Amino acid sequence: MDEKRIVMISEGPYGGSILYSDGSTEPVPSEDVPPPPLVGDINFEETGAGFEVWLSDRIVRDHEDLLDAFGDWLLEQPEIVRVVHDGDNIVMVGGVLSEPLRTTVKEWWASRVGRLKLGG
């Protein structure tokens, strides 16, 4: 029986992948990084797989009904391939965070939430 061995590690637009001799793949494990300090209601953090949108406790608590709509809206954007909401304050997004998308995300939230504090 052949032993499963790493054949190649490749870097793609959404992070690294490990290819094994049996044809299986898995993402390259990433380090646990502490969350960025929140400086507003909406914050962005780029990752190896795309980016994360960090939402303040106020947004999650007072506007929970908007979270699914936000995820659906993100998936309609051409540069987005995947959206995962972890049920907490983070929306993980597979895709490219361009400056126009960053601005549009802020506008989306500002049009729905009063007194929105924008972060980085």
Domain-embedded: residue 115: no
pLDDT at 9: 75
Provide the terminal-to-terminal Cα distance of the chain, rounded to the nearest Å.
52
Each residue of 79-98: pLDDT tens digit?
999 999 877 888 999 998 99
Average pLDDT over every residue of 63-73: 93
- Does one domain contain both 5 and 26? yes
Q: Is 37 a domain residue?
A: no
User: Which domain range does residue 13 map to?
Assistant: 1-30
Stated pTM of the model:
0.67
* Per-residue CA distances from 43 to 9, 67, 77, 103 (Å): 31, 15, 19, 12
Q: For residue 116, give both structure tokens.
A: 């929105």
- Percent of the chain having pLDDT more than 90? 40
Q: Are residues 52 and 16 in the same domain?
A: no
Q: What is the per-residue pLDDT across 6-54, written as a single tens digit (0 to 9) for each?
A: 777 777 666 677 777 888 887 766 655 555 566 789 999 888 888 999 9
The domain that contains 63 carries what CATH number? 3.30.1360
Q: What is the pLDDT of residue 7?
A: 77
Domain count, the chain: 2
Query: Residues 46, 103: one domain?
Result: yes
Decide if 81 is inside a domain: yes
Instruction: Please report the pLDDT score of residue 10 as a whole number.
Output: 76
